[in-house]
Amino acid sequence: MKCYASLAFVVVALLSVAPASAQIPSGPVTTPPTIDGAVGATEWAGAGTLALPHGTAYFLNDQTYLYVLLDVTADTTLDPLVPGVYNDDNFGIAFDANGNGSGDIDIDVNYGAFDNPPAFPRISYFADPAFCGWTGGGATSSLGAEGFGMSPAAPATNHVIWEFALLLSEISPPSTGRIGTAVWLLSVNPSFNDLTPAADLCDWANYADLQLNGFDTAVPVAGAVGLAILVALVAIVGVFVARSRLG
Ligand SMILES: [Ca+2]
Ligand SMILES: [Ca+2]
Ligand SMILES: [Ca+2]
pLDDT band, very low/low/confident/very high, at 201 (cuts 50, 70, 90): very high
For the 3-216 domain, the top CATH level (class) is mainly beta
CA distance 83 to 198: 28
Ligand 3 centre and the CA of 106: distance in Å?
Answer: 32
Nearest-ligand number for the alpha carbon of 149: 1
Span 115-126, average pLDDT: 85
Of residues 67, 36, 53, the one with CA closest to residue 151 = 36
Position 223 scores a pLDDT of 46
Span 128-149, average pLDDT: 95
Higher-pLDDT residue of 218, 31:
31
Ligand 2 centre and the CA of 202: distance in Å?
Answer: 10
Ligand 1 centre and the CA of 173: distance in Å?
Answer: 24
Ligand 3 centre and the CA of 88: distance in Å?
Answer: 7
* Distant-in-sequence, close-in-space partners of 187: CB < 8 Å, separation ≥ 6: 54, 72, 75, 77, 79, 89, 160, 193
CA 152 to centroid of chain Cα atoms: 22
Where do the domains of the chain lie? 3-216, 218-247
Position 232 scores a pLDDT of 58
Q: What is the pLDDT of residues 143-198, one digit of tens each?
A: 999 999 999 999 999 999 999 999 999 999 999 999 999 999 999 999 999 999 99
Lowest mean pLDDT among 85-99, 102-116, 220-234: 220-234
Position 6 scores a pLDDT of 44
DSSP 102: S
Q: What is the pLDDT of residues 36-89, one digit of tens each?
A: 999 999 999 999 999 999 999 999 999 999 999 999 999 999 998 877 777 799
Position 22 scores a pLDDT of 80
